[in-house]
């Protein structure tokens, strides 16, 4: 029996494929990973956070992006689509691109059962290669739980876990507060049997 040969792509090949693809994919170390579609709760949560940030930035030099904006991590070669990202100050684009940013201050990922371990582990490690990143937020979609990682120094992150619907997520690097009640507004939790 012969082993299947894996195809590896250059970043340029990946970007060319993304321009004509009907779905989004992540790229890392020559491999392309198709992203799965989001659930109702996933879309509501990411939309709520994006909307709240846009309102907060009306008089600030910050820009919020939804999951349509690709992010390149120059330090390790990852290309990905965070659920929400924010850049404060001038937007830096990948060389020759207007669809790929490189300098987020905040990244938000809404967790799913298939991505939670990666978002908490390997992906967070890769995100730490972003010099500009100050805040990393993970949001559960099936329960009231927000994990807020705040950068205190090189390789030093502080974790705050919020589970009470009456609490407020205080994004210190952005000077923005978002009540958990607004993050989870219109989310439908399934009742366990």
For 83-100, give the DSSP string.
Answer: SEEEEESS--BPTT-SSE
- pLDDT, tens digit, for every residue of 119-136? 999 999 999 999 999 999
- pLDDT, tens digit, for every residue of 27-72? 999 999 988 778 999 999 999 999 999 999 999 999 999 999 999 9
Does this model's pTM top 0.95? My answer is: no
Instruction: Quote the CA–CA distance of 79 and 97 in Å, as a whole number.
Output: 13
Please name which of 116, 107, 101 lies closest in space to residue 135, comparing C-alpha atoms: 107
For residue 131, count CB atoms less than 10 angstroms from its CB and return exposed for 0-12, middle for 13-18, buried for 19 or more: exposed
Q: Give the pLDDT of residue 42.
A: 95
Task: Say yes or no to pLDDT of 193 above 70.
Answer: no
For 14-74, give the DSSP string.
Answer: HHHHHHH-SS-EEEETTEEEEPPPP-HHHHHHHHHHHHHHHHHTTTSSEEEE-TTSEEEET
Determine what percent of the chain is predicted with pLDDT higher than 70.
96
Task: Say yes or no to pLDDT of 107 above 80.
Answer: yes
Q: Which domains does the chain have, with CATH numbers?
A: 37-183 (3.90.1570.10)
Task: Say yes or no to pLDDT of 4 above 70.
Answer: no
Task: Say yes or no to pLDDT of 165 above 60.
Answer: yes
Q: Give the pLDDT of residue 155.
A: 85
Query: What pLDDT band is residue 5 in, cutting at 50, 70 and 90?
Result: low
Over range 155-172, report the average pLDDT: 96
> Whole-number mean pLDDT of the chain?
93
Task: Say yes or no to pLDDT of 138 above 90.
Answer: yes
Question: What pairs with residue 140 in β-bridges?
Answer: none
Q: Give the pLDDT of residue 154.
A: 85
Measured CA distances, 120 to 46, 77, 93, 114 (Å) = 17, 19, 26, 12
Q: Give the pLDDT of residue 41.
A: 96
């Amino acid at each position: 029996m012969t082993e299947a040969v894996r195809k590896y792509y250059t970043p340029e090949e990946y970007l060319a494929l993304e321009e004509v693809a009907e779905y989004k994919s992540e790229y890392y170390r020559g491999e392309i990973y198709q992203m799965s579609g989001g659930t109702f709760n996933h879309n509501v949560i990411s939309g709520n956070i994006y909307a709240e940030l846009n309102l907060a930035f009306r008089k600030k030099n910050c820009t919020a992006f939804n999951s349509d904006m690709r992010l390149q991590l120059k330090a390790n070669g990852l290309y990905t689509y965070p659920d929400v990202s924010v850049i404060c100050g001038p937007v830096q684009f990948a060389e020759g691109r207007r669809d790929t940013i490189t300098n987020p201050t905040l990244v938000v990922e809404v967790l799913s059962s298939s991505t939670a371990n990666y978002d908490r582990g390997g992906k967070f490690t890769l995100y730490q290669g972003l010099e500009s990143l100050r805040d990393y937020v993970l949001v559960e979609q099936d329960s009231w739980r927000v994990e807020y990682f705040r950068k205190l120094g090189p390789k030093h992150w502080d974790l705050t876990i919020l589970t009470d619907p009456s609490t407020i997520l205080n994004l210190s690097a952005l000077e923005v507060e978002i009540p958990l009640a607004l993050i989870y507004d219109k989310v439908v939790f399934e009742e366990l049997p």
